[in-house]
Structure formats: structure tokens, C-alpha cells
Chain A
Amino acid sequence: MKHHPLCSDCEDKITPMDLPIPDGLKQEWAVSESRRQFLGRCGKVLGWASLATLFGEASVRHLVRAAGSNLQAGVGGNTLGLPHFAPKAKRAIYLFMSGAPPQVDLFDYKPNLVFQFDKDMPASVRGNQQLTGMTSGQARFPVAPSHWPFSRHGQTGTWISDLLPYTARMVDDLTFIKSTNTDAINHEPAIMLMNTGNMNAGKPCLGAWLAYGLGSMNNNLPTFVVLQTKTNPKENNQPVSSRLWSSGFLSSEFSGVGLRSVGDPVLYLEDPPGVDRGTRRKMLDAVEEINRQTLAEVGDPETNSRIAQYEMAFRMQSSVPELTDLSKEPASTWDLYGPEAKEPGTFAYNCLLARRLAERGVRFTQVYKRGWDVHDNVVGMLPVLCQETDRGCYALVTDLKRRGFLDDTLVIWAGEFGRTVYSQGGLSQENYGRDHHPRCFTTWMTGGGVRPGVTYGETDDYSYNVVKDPVHVRDFNATILHCLGIDHNKFAYRFQGLDQKLSSPVPAFVVQGILG
């Protein structure tokens, strides 16, 4: 058996010639393989590796591994060999509720709190916790029970706030984790921790890890797509930043690509005015011909890669507009998602787009919805936030289900932490505020890999401390990886001499209790 051309210590020797890929691509492989002796130092290989995206997921991981490993990785590194086991989910959609939704008003039902209205939360519950600078000066910590009634839904009889009528309809499909908890108490570190497994910037996010580890399933679209929901100026929109979808120390080609609702859906996608497709094709033909001359003359494999990237760019120019063209969606789509989904940038629109991306084999889609940071006026703002998101979530899950995609798509709904049961600022019968709360928050998942209709973990009577089955962010991420066929302990990338992991360095555990 032949050695993998890029893998000096490769044990499972795969040749792309054996893979079910188009002949044209095999030819390109042959060309590049004949030049494999050009490969070597990190920079060059990185570029070259991206050529391999043409081959799809099976080969990219090896190429990428070779690219990512600098010399010392050859000593101790092992091959990625992904997935580690048969994945339940091939792709994932992450609905990220930035700002932190109040679990006690939405999912974590605490009926007895009504009797505690305006009473001080016992100091024993709070313990010696470090509070944020926003409420730590408060003289009192009066309990603010949820303003909204809860009711039971589905065959599971799950309690859900009346604010979420659509989510209520699908509770039997969802897996709730009421004991999610984190180390960070402020947005910046918490949102980094949730997305990258580390409070400080510089680590790859979940999507980048998946793009690196599992590669692409579509030759014409990015592997990892980020969708931003238009902000509602009335809400308290905590910022997000490109480092949340950054590839950290992994090659930057694994960063999330923003699909935008304003301007070009992908930046610089559209040809300039006056340049039609035919003109672009002619221009590219000329560029390619000259680049091939350069390749023949200088023999730098980087040139070969560039030729391929220009072709992929050309294909993206048609595949992305096709993706965002919703004109062929059937009427049933609009019945499900509602009329808001027609307006680019709404949460419902992004959910619909997420479904279309999943259909087209995009590995990881992350939808950001900002505005959940309800320090005050919970009564005024929460209905708005729920109205903006509730139906989209339901529509996405239902749509995936009816199209047969839910079985191998993992859908995740989470914010970066929870909110306090005690009121921040003034508490009245009419209104209250809630501060950041890291010790417990509710998240849900559904689809490939998780068991529907489960509620996992419990909190105390004040929705303040986890009393049963805690799920730390690390465990949460480890479980997501598990659903995608990845053993988080084995999924490492050597950087600065360490096997860096999404879940490291403290031990993390897959939440067995929610697996399907």
C-alpha cells in the first residue's frame, strides 16, 4: 500500500483516486500529487491544502493535518482519523442567543417563587459568589418571580413559559439541559468561553474545529457559515465580534464565512457593475492561462492552488445567489416560518437560510441573535425577544424534520449564561430586571445524536444553583462533538507544544444522559 502523499507517518493510507469524487478532481489530484515534492513548510502547505477542499471531506482532513502540523507534530502527532466513530449528526446549526436569556422566565419553572416576591433571596443560596459590578453594590437581592405563567405541553408534559407558544409545540422533540453552567460572569469572557472553550481570545471556535476536523460537504459553499440577525435597537445588544467565529491557531481558512443580509451575501461576491458572467468567465480564462504558464515556468504548487481557488470563487458566485434566492420556496415554507422570513436579516429568515444551508451540505451554521441582555424591563423586552425568535426556532426544527434532515442535523439553542432570579434595580409588581448568572442556565438541543423529550439536570428552588447533573460548557461542547462523531479527548491540534482541544484543559465529559 502506498503512503498518503502528505502524511509522513500516516497509518490509514487513503488515496483520493479511491474516493468517489469526480474524475476531473482526480486529475487535479494527480497533477498536484506529481508535485507533492514541492510541499513542505507550513505556509506553502496551508495554501496547497485548501486546494483539497475540492475533494470534499474525506481527503481534506489529511491534507489539513499535514498542513497544520509543523515538524514537531510529526513526532508526537497522530492522524486525525475523523470521525472517530459513526456520527449521528453530519452537520449542526447553532442558534446563539447572545446576551443571555433568563432561564427562569422561559424554561426553568419555579412555581413557588410567587410566594417569595420581593423577599430577600437567602444568603445561603448566593453563598460567597462573586457578583458582577452591576448588582454587587445592591443592598438587597429581592426575588422576582417570573411575570408569565407556565403551562405543560406535549406528551412529555414539559413546562414552558407562555411566552414561547411555538417552542411549546415541539417540546417532545427537544432535549433541555437545565443545568448548563459556566465560569464567566460577564459577556465578553462568557461568550468566548461558550464559542471557543476558553475565556481569552485566540482559540478556534466550535465551527472552525468542525471545519478543520470534518471538512466540507459542498464544493461550492463555505464549510462554516455565520448568520447575523438584524438588531432591534430597542434591545440591549451586546456586541459580537469576528473572533467568535475565528479559527484561532488553526488555519484561517476554517474561519466562519459571514452570509449577510445587507449588500453581497458573501463579501465581494458580486461582479462589479458592467461585468456580466460571460465577461467574468473570459477574464478568468485569461488569468488561468497565464497562471498555467507561470506554473510551468516556476513550478510553484501555490500557483496551482490559486488556479483552483479562482475556479471555486467563480462557482461560489453562482451557488450563493442560488442559496439566497427564496423565490422557489413553496407556500408551505411561508406558512411555517411566517411572513417575517421573507425579510432578509430577521431571525426567521436566518432560520430558513440555515435550513437551506443544511440541505446543501454546509457543515456548521451559526445564527446569532443579540439583544437578550435584560438588565431591566424584563416585562417589556422579553415578549419582544420571544416573538422575534420563537417561531423561527420551531419552523427550523419542524422543517428539518419534515424534510428528513433532523435525524442527521444537530440543532443547538444556547446563550452564554443565565440570569439571576433576584431583581436587578427596582422590583415592582409590574417590572423587574435580571443580572448575569453563570451558575445555571437552560439550553436545548434536538436532532442527530440527542434523545428527544428529555429534560436533563435540575436547579434549586431559586434557579440559582445546580442541584443535579451539572453540565459545564466544556461538557456541553464535548457532547456536541460527540454527536458529530468526534471524541473530544482525541480531537486535538498541536500548538505551542500542547495538544489543544476545544474542551481542554480541564477534563470534560460527554453528557450521556441526553444522547439518543
Chain B
Amino acid sequence: MYGVKAGSCLIVVALSISVVACNGHEIARRLDFNQDVQPILASRCFSCHGPDPEMRKAGLRLDLAEWATKKREGRRDAIVPGHPEKSELVKRIESRDPHYLMPQTALGEAKPMGAYEIAVLREWIKQGAVYRPHWAFEVPTRPAMPHDIGSDPWVKNPIDSFILAKLKKEGLEPSPEADKPTLIRRVTLDLTGLLPTPDEVQAFVADSSADAYEHLVDRLLTQSTFGEQRARYWLDYARYADTYGLHYDNSRDIWPYRDYVIRSFNGNKPFDQFAREQIAGDLMPMKNLDPLIGSGYVRLGVSSNEGGTIPEELRVNIARERTEAFGATFMGLTVGCAVCHDHKFDPTTQHDFYALSAFFNNIDEKPFNDDRPVWAPVVRVPKADQADAYNRVLSHRSQLQEKLNAMQFDGGKSVGEWLAFHKNPARAVSTSGLIVRLRLDEGRGDQLRNSAPNANAGSFKTTTMKPEWGETTWLWPDFRMQSSTRVLLGQTADYEATHAFSAGGWFMFRSAPFHPGSFGTLLSKMESTEHDRGWELSADENGTLTVALVHQAPKKGKPKKKEEKKAPAEKPLVAKEPFNYPTPQDLTKKDLASNKPPEQLKAEKEEEQRAKAKAKAKAKAEAKKKKSEASATPDESLTEVSVRVVAVKPLSLDNSWKHIFFTYDGSGRASGVKVYVDGVQVATRVLQDNLSQASIRTDAPLQLGWRNPDEHPAKDARYQDIRLYARTLAPDEVNRLPFEDYVAEIATHPSAEWTHDQSHIVTAFYLSYMDPTWQRIQREMAYLDEQLDRLSAGGDLTLVSSEKPTISYAHVLTRGVYTARTERVEADTPHFLPPLPADVPRNRLALAKWTTSPENPLTGRVTVNRMWYELFGTGLVETTEDFGIMGQRPTHPELLDWLAVEFHDSGWNVKHMYKLMVMSATYRQSSKANSKQLARDPSNVLLSRGARFRMDAEMVRDVALESGGLLVEKIGGPSVKPYQPPNIWEQVSYPTSDTVRYVQEHADSLHRRSMYSYVKRMAPLPNMDAFDAPARDMVCTRRQRTDTPLQALVTMNDVQWVEAARALAERVIREAGPLPEERINRMSLILLARVPSPQMAAVLEKSFREMKEHFAGNPKDARSLVNLGETRRDSSIPEPELAAWTMVASEMLNLDETITK
């Protein structure tokens, strides 16, 4: 018998404890570490003696048994199991000496524990100080039903057994079932978000069959409003909004995701599939676009395009946001706490956080959203009439993609066979004439090694500003020039025009917002102050490549155009790009305009016309000027003498890696220059061809990214494997440069020694260049892609995810600062949870499968808990977003586990779970409380009665619209803009934002369900905001439920509610008899599903008479009131009468009971 007196009831820890302690009972039971002990240790000790090593004091860690009982040099034992009197911990917490006493704050201030806490810790140590893993990290098993409960007539399903067992333990009885009107209103609101119609109420009340309620529930579960209601919650969990949320806060196209969510719930898509599609739909097999549209989930968070933003900062923030969102929604963990340091309470380390973030760090997107509604990657959703044809092609493509994935997966094996068969089948490019090879794989520092065998200079030092390393990986972790970094290569390649040479390498441009100047010089030995003498490889803002060999050029002038030679038609690609991934769809101007208000479109059109006119005028003026110049004496020094060759087809302006190379034969002729992209010669045009033998030599140094002196930069560009040969490379050599040459080099080492990056490259090379099957499938897919484009023409665009072909990784950042990189970590799941299978690619698909695997202890619990929260107002774990150590303990742990296992065993059947919950006797209880329940279960944690709470914002509005018959029954589609007071957007927005002006829509758009209202993150709809609707800046898994005067102002005065009140008034006048009581009854039936009590009816009747009298005497007021809103009033009803009924309806709409579920 364990016996400890609990001294007082000062501290309420968790329910089970508070009951024990506050009733002054003795602790006469075996303590449970998770229930009783860990909450005390966590809140009182872990901030200094927990998982975070930075904060740890005295080397003592109390969250793990092996640490807590470990000998520490020169210190007394903190915990001696079985011996509280020998345990330093007990001495400290019981001490009265303020310097010795624990716990203390970080500032050294004593914060003594309460008597109960001390008693528990003492007793726990006495019982052997047994640790257990945190409850939520253990896989749930189906608990046994509480015995002796099953036969109780109150019990309707297993949920009730658990609830009843606990009630009995606390000496309580459950409440009787609510009356039928209450029940149908409650369950209809919960399952559809809307009211039952009076007919439905009457039919249900009249149905005396035993399964009347079940029939009702089954019917509600098949209504399409069920999917809307579930989606409304899910959009909070997924942080859905219609704008980007930062700076311009521009619109974005992602509403098809919302339709996808509704569709998924209505189709009762198994939750595991639903979750997997959102995390990694782009990597899954597809029969239709749903998985891909669902993957828009990843990209729902806020993003920016602020002008001065530093790309790396943005990229880090985006990955962080996605990781935190994933943590909150799917894992129920506050992983974001580990951004800066190891989590103070949970075992989540910083390493865990960044490894998890790596999954979200590999999306094929620019960090800037360009302030355009379509931030690639996006997909075009086919129109309904093309959907079938589209889906057939899509599934075919998907099958091919699966084949490719399998080939990729087995790539190591294929490569092995290939290598075994040929000794080194990849052919290296001769290093003859190679004088510069900057691999740029140093990974750190400012010294760049020249690894060319014939190099004059062995290394170069960067100047001005240090470069950035390893932000992305291509052949190896890459090198980026900070905007002010200079790489001066001295007098390397100091050639005359008669000298043959070739140069280029791997480049990746970063187009920062407003700064297309990220395109510019790639490689240059040119002196630009006098006559631009020298040679250069560059790209302009349109992505057009130019190779120039210049003797002299007119300063600040355009090269004079000579007659253009027709370039030969571009040859078909001999090999496709070595990696395969979806390219962003072609976006037209029309796509970009879709979300702009018509006024703005008009203004832009006018602006465009003005600009055109201006350009025309300018051209005219220039022509005139030219004419006058031509008549003047020509300045000989301005004559251009050069060779200039440009590529016909511009490079795409995305942030992909491109291998860019040119060869020159020393002929002094344009025909001697060949330009290659990704190893393939591209068609060129000749702009200038009069160099002949004129000198191109200059003192200017050879420079990466800049022309000398500092001009025409390719800002923030990335480079890898830059080469310069003092000879003309043959086409087949250039063809091998991007990959084969490198693969040949790797293959000289045994494959066991290859790094992960190297294996990846060799496999990719083998498949793309050597494997005929792979090549055939690629060609086939290209054909299918064309078909898909055609079949989706005119469809809507939506943001989706698309994985880059490279390896997912991230850097651990000291204190979360994006520049303070430490370790590079590959994607992985947190160490304290089940591991990923060893041999799967570490990408989002692996994460998605892991999330929904039976071994995952969190997903099921977290999800059923949120279902419970939706129906009962509070989760079994109150902190729906935090199942970690600092989160709430479940009030009914066995029930939670039972539900989680049931969810899994049912095949993640969502409707089954909702049905189970609403069919329970627990759910059906009356919410009226008796005095015993109030005394013993004041806050209804034990569920001794039905839940009663205010509806969410959207429901409050939808119910008002529905009651007046205004609600438009239409599922899905783009967001709408209903009534909103003036100057909400205008007063906060950036003036050139496309959401600077709120252009209210009309007709149906005014009365759609609130879940379709446009969400601008910087200025959410104020009437929804007043009722605690979140701004969707971040995940919200449980809303606050406040009660403020601003809410009263909304429901009394907002035109939507006044219009709804009038419509409700008209409806009862139309539907009910002429007597006031008949109309009041009808109103009550509509809103409350019941006839009013005599007292209530009396109040309303009296009010009606007063109002009628008032408006009869003030006909102008009556007219003003009934004409509010855009729906036309029923003119057959006299205005004073309608006004009076409108006020009565408004009273009804403002009742506590009306807005409460």
C-alpha cells in the first residue's frame, strides 16, 4: 500500500490527478509516468534539465531514465530509484533554502513546487522511478472494453463504454438523450454545417421507428454538404487562402484544391490516401488529377516576392513553414520549436527538424512567387467535357512514369550490370587544351581550385564578398556568387581572334523579383570602359544566349544590325534532358489576369495602350534622330568590329541547371562559333560578322559573372564545373561534357566508394543516355504531354507540387539563421518515431507513406482527435496541435487509442468514424446539466452531458442565409466576394497589389456558403474575423471561441444579416399563416427546429406589436430597412409590416440559442 498525503489542491495538473488530489485523497495507487509524473517534470524541470543541450544545467537531464539516474562527476545522484530520501531531486524540491531549492527560473528565481507535485515525485521515485516513452509516441493498440459496462442499456457503441466507465468512476451518471428536435438540429449542423428544414424536422419527429436516428445520420452522410462542412475544417488545418499573404499579398490560383478536398470527403476517400495525396500526390500514380491537385497542400502557406528579399532566406522560410504545418496537422507536434535549438520538451532535435524540412526543400519552384497568381509548378485542370479523355491519357502517362520510377529505383542494379559489362563505358573528353576547370566543389571558403591538368594558375581567390556554397545540389553541392562576389581569373585565355578556344559550364540563373538583371555575363574577358574589346558568353533578360568576340563596339550603343543569315532549323534533340520532371505549364497573359478585379484589368489595359502609344512615339522620334544622325559625319570609332552570335531560342526563365557551352575555331568568322545547350548544338543567328583578323586582346581579366570593370552581372547565379579549352571541341565532345565526362571520371572509382550524389548522377546518366527503354518511354511521355496540354486547354490553373530530381536535403541552421549553416542533412523522419524503410528514396512519397503507416503512432490519433473536436467542441486531447510532452494529456486515453485503431482498421474510413461518433449515446445526450454534474464535472470534460458551444464564423453566417432562403446551393468553384464594408483591403494593401481593391460581386456570389468567400490573408473578412475565423497565415487546428461586442455588432448590423432577417421575415409571411404566433412558430422551427416556449413566443409577439406600431408611425424608416441589400424585397408585403417582421427575425438571428450548436 502506497500512501502519501496530498497536502492541498493548489495545483490542477490533469484531470485524474486533480480529482485524486483536490479531494484530499491519498495517492494509493501505482503512479503512471505519462499521466502523473511527466507533466510535472516537463513543466517544472525540462527547460533546464530536458532535451535541449544548450540550456541544460549541471549536466542533468530528467526526460530520459538513463540520464536521470546516471552518475555525474562531483554531483549527488539526482534520482535513486526506490529511495526518495537519497535522491538529490527530492531534497532540492523540498528545500526551504532559496539558493538550494529547485525549480528555479532561468534567472535564478526560486519557483517552489506545490505540495501535490512534490508528493507525486517522491512517490514515483519510491515506486522505482519507472520511465515510459511518451504516450503519444507509442503505437496505439486496441484497448479492452471496460468490463461490467457492456451490458448497460445506455451504451450504444464502444465509445459510450469508455465514457461511461469514467463517469461511473467519478460517481456520475450520463444525461438522457436530447429531445428529437435538438438532436436533428445538432447532428445536421455537425454533419452538414446547415440547419435541418422544417419538413425534415417534422418527418424525423414523426418517425417513431427504432432506427429513425440512424436513417437520419446515413442520409446526412450522403449529402454533398457533408463534404463542404468537413472541408471547411480541413481548410483551417491546411491553411488555405486565396492570396500569398506577404508584401503585395497578391492573388493566387489554388481554389481547385478546395474542390478537391470537398470531393474527397464526399467520396469518402480513405484518409490515408487523402493524406498521401496532399503530401506527395505528384509522386503517386494517377488515374485523374486529384493526387496532383491535392499536392497543392504543400504550397498553401504564405510566400513572398518582396523586392529586397534574399533568395536563400525565402527558401529557408518556405521549407520551414511547410515543415511546421506538416508537423501540426499530421503529427500533432510543435516541431517548429526545434528551428533554433533542440526542442526544450519534446525529443525533437534540431537535426530532426531540418531532416524533416528536407522533404519540403526539394520542390521545383523559385523561392519568389513573382507576384503572379500562378507560381509554377502549376497544373491546368481540364474542363469537364474533356476530363475523361484527359484522364485516359493521364493514366497512361502515369503508368509510364511508374515504369520510370521503378527503373530509377533499380538504377543502381542496372548501372552495376552496365559497368560490369563494359569496363568504363563512359567516354571522357580529352583534357588536351583544358586550361581552366573550376569544379567549384570546394564546399566552403573563398579559394577556388583550378583542376585543369594544364593550368597555369592552380587556384583563384574570390574577392569583395564570400560566395555561398551548397544551397542546391547538381553534380555536387553547388557554388553561388553572392551579388557582390568577384571571381577574377587573371590573364587566362588572353587570346587573339585567330586562336581557337571553347568555354562554358553548368549555370543556374536566379531571377530575383524585379531584377531580371540576374541574367547577364556568364564568362567574360572583356574590357568595357573603352571599346568592349575581348570575348564574352552571356545571357540577356529573355534568356537569349550571346557569344561575342569584339574588337570594338560603339559605347552604350546597340550593335548595328547587318543582314541576318537564316539559321538552319534546330536539330531534334539527340538525347532528352537527363532528368525527367514536369515542366511548368505554358502560362499566358490571360492566365495571369484571372483574379484581378475588372477595374484593375481595365486600368492595366489602358496603361498598356498608353505604353504602346508612348513606344510608338519614341520609335518615331528615334527614327527621326537616326535620320539626322545619319546625315551628320559618321564617327569612325563607333563602327562595330566584332563577331556576335545569338541563340535563336531563349532559355526558359526557371531556376533549372543548364549546361551552356560554345566553341570557336579561330577563323574570325561567325560561322566559327557554335553554341551548345545541354550538350546539344542550338540554332543561332548572326548579329555581326566583320571581325576578321582584328585584335580582341585586352588587359581585362577573365571573370565569372561580370564584365570588367564591374558591369552587366549575372546576379546571384550558380555555377558548376566551368571549363575553358584552348582548342575547338568537336560536337560529340561537347555532347559528352555535361554528364558523360563526369561519369567517366566517377567510374574510375569502384561504385562502393561513390557518394550519394555520384551514384545519383551515374544512374541518371545511364538511364537517359544509355538505356533505350528509358529513352523510348521519355519520347512517349513527351507525346502524351502534348496531348494533355491540348486536352486541358482553357482549363483553370492550380498550384501543385513537383519534386526536383535531385536529392532532398537541408542544412541545420544555427539558431535558425539562414546564413548560419552547419551540417547538411538528408531527408529523414524524427529519430524518436519509427524509421523509414531502409531502401526507399527519401522523398515526400516516403514521408507520405510513413505518415499513414500502421507503425506511425501519431497520425491516427491526431486525426480522430480533431474529428472529436469538431463534434464535441474540444478534443480528447485539448491541444489538437500538440501531442508532445507539453501538450494536454488525453482525458480518455483508452478511448482515443480505441478510436485511432478503429480508424486504421476500418481502412481509414472517415464517414465511418463520424457516424460512430454521432451514433454514440455520448453525442446524443441532452446538454442541460443537473446540479450534481455541475459540481462534479463543471467543464464537461467527462462528458456527462451533451456539448454546447457557439458555432464557427462560417456557420453563423450560413445559417442566417439559409434561414432566409438566400443560401445558394452550389458546390465548389472559384472564391467569391460577398458584401464587405469599404476600405478594408485598401487601407492595408500595397498600392500595386492585385488585391488592393475589393470589388464586391453580385447575385449568387453574395449568398454562397462562407467557405467560398475570398480569403485575403492581410485583411481577412471582418465579419468572419470577429467570430474567430483564422487569417490562414498558419495552421489552425482549433479555433478560439471568444464572445465579444464586435460579434453582436456584426449580427445586428452587417447588411448580410439584415438582408437575411428580411428574407426570413418574407419567408415566414409566405409559409406560415397570417397570425403572428404562426409566423413566430415557423421562424422558431426554421432556426431552432422547435416550437418556441410560451414565454419566448410571448416576448417575440410583444416585440412584433411594438415594432409594427413603431414602423407604422415611421414609414420612411420602414422603407429604408426593408430595402437594404441587393436582393429585391417582396413588394406585396406592406413595408411597415415587413420591417416589423424583419426586426423580429433579426432578434431571432441574434439569440444565443440560434448561434449555438
Contact = CB atoms under 8 A, between A and B. Distances in A.
Interface of A: 8-9, 37-44, 46-48, 50-51, 70-72, 74-76, 78, 128, 130-137, 139, 185-188, 200-202, 228, 231, 233, 237-243, 246, 251-253, 257, 260, 262-264, 266-276, 278-280, 282-283, 285-287, 289-291, 293-295, 297-300, 302-303, 305-307, 309-310, 312-313, 316-317, 435-436, 489, 496-498, 505
B699 to A, nearest CB: 19
B1047 A309 contact: yes
B982 A272 contact: no
Nearest to A262: B983
A10 to B, nearest CB: 9
B905 interface: no
A279 B462 CA distance: 78
B411 interface: no
A187 to B, nearest CB: 6
A497 B990 CA distance: 37
Given A43-B873, A43-B874, A270-B1053, 20 more contacts: A37-B934, A42-B874, A48-B1043, A70-B879, A75-B39, A128-B465, A136-B715, A228-B987, A233-B991, A242-B1020, A271-B1052, A272-B1124, A275-B1121, A279-B1143, A285-B1103, A290-B1096, A293-B1095, A298-B948, A299-B928, A302-B950
Contact of A41 (B941, B1040, B1054, B1111): B941
Interface in B869-896: 873-874, 878-879, 882, 884-888
- B interface bracket (residues with beta carbon within 8 Å of A): 35 or more
A271 B1053 contact: yes
B1078 interface: no
Contacts of A72: 13, 39, 42-43, 886, 888
B1031 A302 contact: no
A166 B131 CA distance: 68
B939 interface: yes
B929 A239 contact: no
Interface string B1018-1035: 111011011010010110
A435 B483 CA distance: 16
B990 A39 contact: no
B1058 A272 contact: yes
A41 B987 CA distance: 37
B44 A76 contact: yes
A287 B1147 contact: yes
Interface string B625-641: 00000000000000000
A501 B433 CA distance: 64
Interface string B916-938: 00000000000111000011001
Contacts of B1048: 306, 309-310, 312-313
Contacts of A294: 1151-1153
A47 B1043 contact: yes
Given A43-B1040, A252-B1040, A268 B1049 contact: yes
A514 B1023 CA distance: 42
B1040 A287 contact: no
B1089 to A, nearest CB: 15
B993 interface: yes
B247 A286 contact: no
B142 to A, nearest CB: 27
Contact of A71 (B14, B934, B1152): B14
Interface in B1081-1096: 1093, 1095-1096
B838 interface: no
Interface of B: 9-15, 39-40, 42-44, 47, 107, 111, 114, 117, 246-249, 302, 304, 306-311, 317, 334, 337, 340, 344-345, 465-466, 482-484, 512-515, 517, 709-711, 713, 715, 819, 873-874, 878-879, 882, 884-888, 927-929, 934-935, 938-941, 948-950, 981-983, 987-991, 993, 1017-1020, 1022-1023, 1025-1026, 1028, 1031, 1033-1034, 1040-1050, 1052-1055, 1058, 1093, 1095-1096, 1099-1100, 1102-1103, 1106-1107, 1110-1111, 1114, 1116-1122, 1124, 1139, 1143, 1146-1147, 1150-1153, 1156
The 10 closest A-B pairs by CB, nearest first: A40-B939, A497-B886, A132-B308, A274-B1121, A241-B1018, A274-B1120, A47-B1043, A313-B1048, A273-B1120, A136-B483
A262 to B, nearest CB: 4
A252 B948 CA distance: 21
A275 B43 contact: no
A75 B1099 contact: no
B934 A299 contact: yes
Nearest to B14: A71
Contact of B512 (A133, A188, A268): A133
Given A137-B517, A436-B308, A130 B819 contact: yes
Given A75-B13, A240-B988, A273-B1124, A282 B1106 contact: yes
A38 B1023 CA distance: 29
A300 B1155 CA distance: 14
B934 A287 contact: no
Contact of A242 (B715, B981, B1025): B1025
Contacts of A241: 249, 988, 1017-1019
Nearest to A240: B988
Contact of A274 (B715, B878, B1099, B1117): B1117
Contacts of B1058: 272
B887 to A, nearest CB: 8
Given A239-B247, A272-B1053, A289-B1099, A300 B948 contact: yes
B875 to A, nearest CB: 10
B1152 A303 contact: yes
A120 B685 CA distance: 41
A266 B984 CA distance: 12
Contacts of B1103: 282-283, 285-286
B512 A262 contact: no
A239 B249 contact: yes
B981 A263 contact: yes
A297 B182 CA distance: 14
A242 B1026 CA distance: 12
Given A71-B878, A287-B1147, A290-B1096, A47 B1121 contact: no
Contacts of B885: 497
Contacts of A71: 12-15, 878, 888
Given A282-B1107, A290-B1151, A497-B885, A187 B983 contact: no
A50 B1044 contact: yes
B1143 A186 contact: no
